[in-house]
Structure 1
Amino acid sequence: MRNQFFFILIFCSIFFLNGCWFNKPSLPERTLKTVLQADPRTLDPALSTSTHSGILLGLIYSNLVSFDTSGKLIYDAAKYYKVSKDGLTYTFALQDGLRFSDGRPVRAVDVVTSLNRLAHPATASPRAWLMEPVAGYQALRDGLTQTLSGVRVLDEKSLEIILSRRFAPFLSYLAMPQTAILPANEVANGEVIPPGSGPYVLSRWVRDTEVLLTRNTQIKTSGNLQAIWFRIIKDPFTIVSEFKSGGLHLIEVPPQEVENLRADKRFRTLDIEEFNVYFLGLNMKSPLLQDIKMREALAHAIPREAILKNLLKGLGTLATGPVPTGLSGFLREGGAEFNLELAKQKLFESGYAGQELRLSVYNDPMNIALCEVIKQSLEEIGVKVRIIPRDWNGFTEQLVNLDYEIYYRNWVADFPDGDNFLFPLYHSTSLGLMGNYSHYNQPGFDSVLEASRQETDSVRREELLREAAVMARDDMSRILLWYKKKVFAVAEAVRDYKPHPMYNSNKFLNTSLTQL
């Protein structure tokens, strides 16, 4: 009986230990451990709208062109391109030997099919407008054709894109996550996605838990990474704790932890001026916010400087307009002054009668703390506010459905140009998931911005972008808050990592791990 009991005990122990082993993540030897704060909604490039998915897509797929660390356009899948003198025809030749991770060669037909799919109404891409400058776009959207007449294969390794009009930012559009190159006629199905020709391959995706990318052996790199493991951790302080204990190699540091991590000699911190703008979006369809005096009252009641100094620990600068520092369309002066007396006066003039304003926010501790300060300040002038925190998908759904009066959000550049802030956030054709959640609609603004998009003279284009930026700022569909600086913390084992200003362009090609 004792022998039987001993056998059962040993069997259960082995079963238990094997179970524990099975539940541990299996990782390649040189795996960089980092983090995402939200699960990507999709890894279908055409359907991507978040930076979380864009980071991953930039590693899995290639584009015709990409950006270097200075924001300059560089070749990616293309080995060269040329633009006709009239600015309408773009001809691309693909890199020799470029292959998808399953070994198939990348062909011109793959690029053409990917761009057609992005534009096709059946795809329902929130970023279909990226193909709007291409000849035949409207006919395709109207169901008159099935493909873009302006995109065609020249031979196996070259293609041509013809625009319907000159369009200054077009090459930058081709570096965005949505214009990534997929094998012809293959699409994502949930967690199963088509192979890409980027430096990494999707090996595992457990919703709300992890994403594991392993090296694409078709791509040569100077770094020694075999994989990148993205753990999905929403709480920023849990992220810091995991980093300090060795569970992560690379994190973005919450403002409250920057000073502590800078002082810790075990780690390095790296700063970067990312192209971003943080704001309070206002529902321009809400009867409560129709009067600009009401919107001005809210703007003058926000203690932007105090929040930036105390909550964000000075990691940024106050926003002067909708376009961040360093990009075309940046305004050197402007922004709402914090003035409670002026705010009260504007509120009185607006006829506000005490209705509650719903403040929608992505459920993150820093966001909640920040919105609590904003709520307190607005209540000081007599405005009732209710904060509504939601997970990312619920938050996005609220914005799309206009189920809010105010929302707190940011916009991060998909490409380094003022157009990428003005068009998605303010143009009347960019409503909803395209970026204009506030439903701002000003024909004068649209006209000026459209003129800037066709202007090839850089000085004149800059003037037009600034004119559009002033109109967008002063109409106040958003209360512009600040441009935020990012700080990354890097473990001692990580070598040759450099933060990138464009979230989808850091390929980790040179990064190595020197100890495990």
Structure 2
Amino acid sequence: MSILETGRRGVLAGGAAIAASGILRPREARAERQLNLVLESEVVILDPYMTTAAITRTFGFHIFDTLFAMDGQGRIQPQMAEGHTVSADRLTWTFTLRPGLKFHDDAPVTATDVVASLERWMPKDALGRMLRDAQAGLVAKDARTVELTLKRPFPLVLEILGKPNAPVPFILPERIARTPADQRITEIIGSGPFRFRPDLWLPGNVMVLDRFAGYVPREEAPDFLAGGKRVKVDSIALRAMPDQMTAATALIAGEIDYQQYVPFDMIDRLERARNVRLLSLGGLHQFQGNYRLNHAFAPFDDPEVRRVLWKLADQDGALQAIGIPPRFRTACNSFWMCGTPLTTDAGAEVARLSVEQAKAELARTSYRGQPVIFLGVGGSISQVAAAVLIQNMKQAGFTVDEQVMDWGTVLARRARRDGWSMFSVYANGVDMMSPLTHFYTANTCADYPGWSCDDRIPALMRQFVDTEAEADRRTIAAEIQRLSYALTPSVMWGQFTIPAAYRTSLRGLMESSFPIFWNVEKA
């Protein structure tokens, strides 16, 4: 999930901040083929299985690799896999690794590494758990061959192994993948196109990823997360620059090469700037904003109290308050995003803004003034969206205790079952377009922050997985949404695009809401 900082410091102040902070060190700045990047936030959690944070996923796709990967059309293609076969009864799937794959410590990638990685990943992911429940066995037949046997046909094997949704089924060395499931890995060794340099990592300042000379790219052209990942620079430096106005000023000055999210009130200036271009995408590359509720902690352990929020969420007001230009935003009441194959309005009749009606409904619930502990990320657009809802909540009779912190602290706090009631966040559309990947439906009845549960939803998810007809899947997705409106795992605050910006000296930048830096050249 993504966080966009929207500090509103002036341009002169931003330039002074860069100079004073020493963010760009002279020796680093002279690196001939280093990309200086400002992403959505600093990478806090490096273990790709331990969080759904988008910044960790971005880090992971550069450091690790996957058996299969999604292309720009949403199709699943072989990645580390050379190919696969399926038995006539569709119960045995055999995967063969490409030759020559190796990890950053020069150890060869083997089928044993794949088995260990998938066994560590599956319990931590909603789709992974479905695959685990369907499997009868997962073994390494030889150094390059993995065999998956199933108890019953399972149509979505490749879609799950190639899914881009966090936690992604990245492949790790067996010795690292065998780290106890409740512990984060501490040695970051992958087989991806870049390697992590722990000796150059300065938290709060910079993280450096070097080109991995031993990486063997596929022969195909690059296509989103699939195809050949050819690294054409020596390194990428992920600069910690929380104030996005400062970052935009640095981009205009040529001190950084790329900014993942630009402040909306800087769009006009960036469009006029020399040697700067905006990358603005639609469809699945848009974002969905959500207020996530904690069902394990009062007052939102009461479903009637939760449902009052549907009358208080003002999507138009939140998107407008953030300052998102009309061409970049839309109000949308579909859990699965608007403009996607599963878009539906099932159950959405309850999402009608009315503070007075909410006040009356709240008075009929068990709520008696308990504080709603609202975790906010200081300076973010999520905090602005939260402010709009908080104002309406107070008018309806809620007592709200807003606690502002950074995103890393929110991630730590949300892992607890108590001490928080809700937080505001947003996620990539590719994550939210299906009940199987939507963070707050896919994890229904799972040990996942928020702890929302309706036993009917996991049963419908299994039907969705076992169904091959698209029309039937749409019907099931609509029913899952109807139940989700009643359960209220989250409440949407809008659908929108966040433009990225980059220097025109970059060539080959992928048109994607995922920041991708293989195949990028710097003139």
In structure 2, the residue matched to 1:142 is none
Number of residues paired by the alignment? 473
Find 1:473's aligned residue among 477, 485, 497. 485
Q: Secondary structure at the match of 1:277?
A: strand
Structure 1 position 81, deviation (Å): 1.9
Contact 2:65 2:190 in 1 (8 A): yes
Counterpart selection for 1:341 from 341, 356, 368: 356
Is 1:419 paired with 2:430? no
Structure of higher CA gyration radius: 1
Instruction: Using the TM superposition, give the Cα deviation of residue 355 of structure 1 relative to its aligned residue in structure 2, in angstroms.
Output: 3.5
Q: Deviations over 1:43-66 (max 9, x none)?
A: 233334321111111011111011
State how 1:18-167 maps to structure 2 within 5 Å.
Answer: 25=28, 28-119=31-122, 126-127=124-125, 130-134=128-132, 150-167=137-154
1:77–1:417 Cα change, 3 Å: farther
**Equivalent residues in 2 for 1:348-367, closer than 5 Å:** 348-350=363-365, 352-367=367-382
Task: State the 1:134 CA deviation.
Answer: 3.0
Equivalent of 2:210 in 210, 214, 220: 214
In structure 2, the residue matched to 1:13 is none
Given candidates 197, 201, 208, the residue that maps to 1:205 is 201
TM-score (norm 1): 0.82
- Residue 196 of structure 1 pairs with residue 196 of structure 2: no
Which 10-residue stretch deviates more, 69-78 or 101-110? Answer: 101-110
Q: State whether residues 152 and 160 of structure 1, in contact with CA within 8 Å, keep that contact through their aligned partners in structure 2.
A: yes
CA contact (8 A) 1:317 1:482 kept: yes
Give yes or no for contact 2:444–2:457 (8 Å, CA) kept in 1: no
The two structures, once aligned, show a CA RMSD in angstroms of 3.1
- Closer/same/farther in 2, CA of residues 85 and 300 from structure 1, 3 Å limit: farther
Q: What SS does the corresponding residue of 1:173 show, helix, strand or coil?
A: helix
Normalized against structure 2, the TM-score is what?
0.81
Change (3 A) 1:403 1:169: farther
Aligned to 2:248: 240
Secondary structure in 2 matching 1:59: helix
Structure 2 distance, partners of 1:374, 1:27, is: 47
Relative to structure 2, which stretch is displaced further, 335-344 or 216-225?
Answer: 216-225
String of CA shifts for 1:208-238, please: whole Å, max 9, x gaps.
Answer: 3221111112235656322111112222222
Distance 1:169 1:39, change over 3 A: farther
Deviations 1:276-330 (A, max 9, x none): 4211122323443355443343322232112213424133322312212354533
Which residue of structure 1 aligns with residue 269 of structure 2? Answer: 260
**Cα deviation, residue 269, structure 1:** 0.6
SS in 1 for 2:319: helix
2: CA distance, partners of 1:416 / 1:284: 20
Residue 470 of structure 1 aligns to a residue whose secondary structure is helix
Contact kept, 8 Å, 1:438 with 1:477, in 2: the verdict is: yes
Indicate the residue corresponding to 1:409 in structure 2.
Answer: 425
**Alpha-carbon displacement from aligned partner over 1:354-411 (angstroms, at most 9, x marks no partner):** 3332211233343333322322222233322221122233212322223222221234
Match of 2:388 among 369, 373, 393: 373
- Post-superposition Cα deviations, 1:399-450, rounded to whole Å, max 9, x if no partner, equal 2223222221234367685134447545443232xxxx33221122222122
- Give the unaligned 5+ runs of structure 1: 1-18, 120-124, 138-148
Contact 2:337 2:433 in 1 (8 A): no
Secondary structure of 2:358's counterpart equals: helix
- Which of 141, 160, 172 is the matching residue for 1:173? 160
Instruction: For 2:118, give the aligned amino acid.
Output: L
Q: Percent identity?
A: 20
Residue 28 of structure 1 and its aligned partner are, at CA, apart by 3.9
Larger mean Cα displacement after TM superposition, 276-285 or 329-338 = 329-338
Unaligned runs of 5+ in 2: 1-21, 218-228
Change (3 A) 1:181 1:26: farther
- 1:107–1:157 CA contact under 8 A, matched in 2: yes
Equivalent residue, structure 1, for 2:12: none
| Equivalent residues of 1:99, 1:105 under 8 A apart | yes
Distance in 1, matches of 2:306 and 2:484, equals: 13
Matching residue's letter, 2:128? L
In structure 1, distance between residues paired with 2:309 and 2:23: 54
Q: Is residue 306 from structure 1 mapped to residue 323 from structure 2 by the alignment?
A: no
Does structure 2 conserve the Cα–Cα contact (< 8 Å) formed by 1:211 and 1:231?
A: yes
Give me the whole-angstrom Cα distance separating, in 2, the residues matched to 1:217 and 1:447. Answer: 46
Q: Counterpart of 1:295?
A: 306
Aligned mate of 2:175, from 176, 182, 185: 185
In 2, distance between residues paired with 1:243 and 1:87? 52
Which segment is superposed worse, 344-353 or 457-466? Answer: 344-353
Deviations 1:32-83 (A, max 9, x none): 1112343333323333432111111101111101122233212210121233
**Where does 1:431-442 land on structure 2 (aligned, <5 Å)?**
431-432=447-448, 437-442=449-454
Aligned partners of 1:495 and 1:513 also within 8 Å: yes
